[in-house]
Amino acid sequence: VGRAQVQQEETAETTEGTGISINCSHPNIQTGDFILWYRQFSGRGPEFLVRALQGSQEVRSPPGRLSVAADRRSSALWLARPRRGDAALYSCAL
């Protein structure tokens, strides 16, 4: 409470099958805060994708990887082979 949680770019676009990195900044992250990523399709609730404290973590669906910067102030969700059906709102949280 009282601290900015996360910041993301408003849009990210790619073509089907071309990998894309979705970036998130969390400059005020605290020790022990997990970095969480979700996606939300229009008209549906959020779907949990992955969480991490540090390093990198595989994402199974959609295929990709979450990478956390060494200082933990940012993270990036890499979607390896996105399809049209993966078009959604992707959000990070602490």
Q: Where are the domains of the chain?
A: 18-93
Instruction: List pLDDT tens digits, range 57-86.
Output: 999 999 999 999 999 999 999 999 999 999
Q: Structure pTM?
A: 0.90
Burial (CB count <10 Å: 0-12, 13-18, 19+), residue 79: buried
* CATH homologous superfamily of 18-93: Immunoglobulins (2.60.40.10)
Instruction: List pLDDT tens digits, range 8-62.
Output: 888 889 999 999 999 999 999 999 999 999 999 999 999 999 999 999 999 999 9
CA-to-CA separations, 21 to 9, 12, 53, 85, 90, in angstroms, rounded: 11, 8, 19, 17, 11
| Residue 20 to residue 36: CA distance in whole angstroms | 18
